[in-house]
Structure 1
């Protein structure tokens, strides 16, 4: 009986878990837009967002009320990072961002 209760508690907690998600696209005008959210439909408004180049943070802001960020496309290699805390980060390489 104890094992069954523990299993049910684990399943119940898993049902409320959410995964961070982000997609980015090139607007074709020298800017990039990234949209963030969570697999359970939760808003990403206010979630930290930053750009890394050569391991250094070169830009940081937060997702707006629409869970989006638009920024000037950096020259060279870079990574866009959606950072909602430990275990809830999404990294998108600039080379993977297309129109």
Structure 2
């Protein structure tokens, strides 16, 4: 079984399910402001997803002074999570629907 680790600010908590990790990041950590457009959103997966779906790589690199290696790492994290996670469950849980914390 894959263990999912929260890498926000050295948190280090691990989760058996990626959905639990995403909910943890969205509820237990401070929200962050996108340095490109100013949108405030949950840190972790949602911040990465926003950056790469709403902005170009060039905008991300300029705003965050990111290296190509850092961009590739975040793109890889996004792809891995999206290939494994039931994002409908995550949204339902965050909106107070079924599912437990």
Query: Is TM more than 0.5 here?
Result: no
- Between structure 1 and structure 2, the one with the greater Rg is 1
Which structure is higher in strand share?
Answer: 1
Which structure is higher in helix share?
Answer: 2
**Under a length normalisation based on structure 2, what TM-score does the superposition of the two structures give?**
0.25
Higher relative contact order (CA 8 A, sep 6+): 1
